[in-house]
Amino acid sequence: MSLTKILIANRGEIAVRIIRAAQELGLKTVQVYSAADETSLAVQLADEAVEIGPPVAKKSYLDVAAVLAAADKTGADAIHPGYGFLAENAEFADAVAAAGISFVGPSGDVIRRMGDKASARKAAKEAGVPTVPGSDGVIGDLTEACALAQQIGFPVMIKATAGGGGRGIRIANSAEEFMTLAPQASSEASAAFGDGGLYLEKVIERARHIEVQILGDGENFIHCFERECSLQRRRQKVWEEAPSAALTPDVRERLCASAVALAAAVKYCGAGTIEYLYDDISGDFYFIEMNTRIQVEHPVTESITGIDLLAEMIKVADGQPLSIRQEDVSFRGHAIEVRINAEDPAANFMPFPGVVGDLRVPGGPGVRFDHMLYQGYQIPPFYDSLLGKLIVNADTREKAIIRLKRAIGELGLGDLKTTAPLFTALAETPDVLSGSVHTKWLEPWLEANSDKLSGH
Amino acid sequence: MAIHEVRAMMPGIFYRKPSPDDPSYKEAGDSVAKGDVIGLIEVMKSFHEVVADADGTITSFQADNEEAIMPGQVLAEIEV
């Protein structure tokens, strides 16, 4: 390892995770922090800590100059951006490289290319990765568009190119409906946005969110199998698993191969995730986007494959080749992660930035708790509500769910309201037990089961 | 004339405008009616409106845009 000191440009549970990986690799750690995070666990665990600004993220964790000044002052030779904040900011990656510091992640150019929806979709298509079928850009003649819609297969979503907030969107179930609805969508979009341009996209009903973890060193590219994150509230994942119980070995092989093809096409360097929608009925999968960073839910992949994803990221940033070859990657058993957020599920997930009370951390076989907590810690109200992630693994999915319930039962945080009761309730729900879920499953379930979400 | 204080109901970041590119909801000197939005508090990435709880004229804001605030902190004063 030629790197000696790594600066963590993040906070919370992921900062703790990065510090642990770096320390195990023999690196010194520098934690930057806002004035609101002086008492954070990450600041206490790091070898050095530098205050970089006031609580508001824009003036601290998002301040590129302040982060670089802290790196310069402490002599850090690597910066890990974690997730969120500056993690997918191409200009930040460029600025870090220009300062002669190793950015733990891909180059600014790769972040730029995969961050833009249109260029990422193009890269995916070129690499032979299936994208959601639709029109290539704006549709012109209505009759031609209807023919295309028939080719894609109904139902088809008619969307306004200038759209937003659901306006200008229609779903056509047949050619007749299409000819009636498309002009309506166009005039609505025209009135709302001053642009009546439309495009078509296939409606994928009952889609699962499935994503593939990839690793690259710029020359070698591997996958570490998939995760399923179909349980979402307001497009936020709350429960993640690996592997996906919905995939056959054949689909899994094709899905993972497509992710490796895309990683290779952009000569990826670091850890990344390629997200797909998976259509249960047809067995087809479609590229949605790529995340060029470590993800919140990475521990489920670590649990089933035994790979330390954070360590691999740092080693690749050091210029080393990947330490594992594809043929060495296998998975065993089943892992589930749930997000313990400072939100009150009984009060419509109202944020609850309280004080950590009598902290009891779950333990025993197959239990991992990645978190930012200690007894008496005042949770700052300024950042996202993720306190920690409870990860369990077992031989089978069924046993993992039993273990999850047992582990949540052990978790104690005093009077702090968290999302923990939600997971106890979900672990007893037939659709969850059988894995019959999709990305639109959780929200209606929450509305119908609010009585099950109060703590004790 | 009495001064009424509008206080923060929760901790977070105080914003005086709906988005960075918009003008402020209210300026000192503006008249307000009970229920008018005078700012936002962002707590853990969720936004909550701060409303005037009295009719009158805003004499001053006691918290700046993007300032970190605590529950009970005075955000604005209204002359009623």
Interchain proximity A353–B68, CB inside 8 Å: no
In degrees and rounded to multiples of 5, residue B25 shows phi and psi of -60, -50
E strand or H helix at A207: strand A207-217
Q: What percent of chain A has pLDDT over 70?
A: 98
**pLDDT value of position A122:** 86
Cα separation, A209 vs A278, in Å, equals 6
Residue of A143 and A216 predicted with greater confidence: A216
Q: A59: which chain B residues are within 8 Å (Cβ-Cβ)?
A: 66
Tokens at residue A283, please? 């067995």
Lowest mean pLDDT among A93-107, A140-154, A327-341, A406-420: A140-154
Q: Do B13 and A383 lie within an 8 Å CB cutoff?
A: no
Question: Among A19-28, A291-300, B1-10, which is the least confidently predicted range?
Answer: B1-10
- Taking 50 as the pLDDT cut, the residues of chain B under it are none
Chain A hits for B9, Cβ within 8 Å: none
Q: From the options 3.30.390.10, 3.40.50.20, 3.40.605.10, 3.40.640.10, give the CATH code of A5-104.
A: 3.40.50.20
The C-alpha atoms of residue A285 and residue A367 are separated, in whole angstroms, by 31
Tokens of A252: 């899994």
Cis peptide before A381 (omega within 30 of 0): no
CB atoms within 10 A of CB A350: 17
Distance (Å, whole) CA A425 – CA A403: 14
| Domain spans, chain A | 5-104, 142-202, 207-452
CATH at residue B39? 2.40.50.100
| A456 band by pLDDT with thresholds 50, 70 and 90 | low
Cα A398 off chain centre by: 24
Average pLDDT over residues A279-296: 93
The confidence score (pLDDT) of residue A162 equals 66
Beta carbons within 8 Å of A344's beta carbon, 6+ residues apart: A350, A352, A417
pLDDT in tens, A169-178: 789 999 999 9
Q: Cα–Cα distances in Å, from A252 out to A226, A239, A375?
A: 8, 20, 43
Instruction: Give the residue carrying structure tokens 């961050």.
Output: A115
- The residue range of the domain holding B75 is 3-79
Quote the pLDDT of residue A299: 98
Say if the ipTM goes beyond 0.90.
Answer: no
What is the mean pLDDT of the segment spanning A450-454? Answer: 88
Length of chain B: 80
Decide if pLDDT at A144 tops 90. no
Query: Using 50, 70 and 90 to split pLDDT, how confident is the model at A165?
Result: low
Give mean pLDDT, residues A26-41: 98
pLDDT of residue A281: 87
Mean pLDDT of A387-404: 98
Give the residue on B whose Cα is nearest the Cα of A59.
B66
- Residues of chain A with Cβ-Cβ distance to B68 below 8 Å are 35-36, 54-56, 382
- Provide the pLDDT for residue A199: 82
Question: Model confidence at A455, in pLDDT bands (50, 70, 90)?
Answer: low
Mean pLDDT for A136-162 is: 84
Is the pLDDT at A235 greater than 90, yes or no?
no
Per-residue pLDDT reduced to its tens digit, A397-411? 999 999 999 999 999
3-state secondary structure of A370: strand
Interior angle at CA A433, CA A332 and CA A241, nearest 5: 40
Locate tokens 């914003």: which residue? B15
Summarize pLDDT for A194-213 with one digit per residue, the tens.
777 888 888 887 899 999 99
Q: Residue A164: is its pLDDT beyond 90?
A: no
The yes-or-no verdict on residue A303 having pLDDT over 90 is yes
| A384 touches B: beta carbon within 8 Å | yes
| Partners of residue B69 on adjacent β-strands | B12
CATH entry, A142-202, from 3.30.1130.10, 3.40.50.720, 3.30.1490.20, 3.30.360.10: 3.30.1490.20
Q: Which strands sit side by side in the sheet containing B56-61, from one edge to the other?
A: B3-7, B74-79, B56-61, B31-32
* HEC per residue, B38-50: EEEEEECCEEEEE
What would the mean pLDDT of A69-87 be, rounded to a whole number? 97
Q: Which secondary structure element, helix H or strand E, spans residue A313, and what is its range?
A: helix A309-317
Residue A243: asked if its preceding bond is cis (omega within 30°), the reply is yes
Distance CA A228, CA A441 (A): 14
- Domain total in chain B: 1
Q: What pLDDT was estimated at residue A120?
A: 86
The minimum CA-CA distance between A58 and chain B, rounded to whole Å, is: 9
Percent of all residues in chain A with a pLDDT value above 90, rounded to a whole number:
82
Cβ atoms A181, A172 nearer than 8 A: yes
Q: Is the pLDDT of residue A365 over 90?
A: yes
**Residues of A labelled catalytic:** 293
Q: Write out the CATH class of domain A207-452.
A: alpha beta
Cα–Cα distance between A64 and A94 in angstroms, integer? 11
pLDDT value, residue A268: 98
What distance in Å separates residue A379's CA from the closest CA in chain B? 10
- Residues for chain A: how many in total? 456
Higher pLDDT, A159 or A374: A374
The predicted-structure confidence for A258-282, as pLDDT tens digits, reads as follows: 999 999 999 999 999 999 999 988 8
B66, closest residue in chain A (CA to CA): A56
Classify residue B27 by burial, with Cβ atoms within 10 Å: 0-12, 13-18, 19+. Answer: exposed
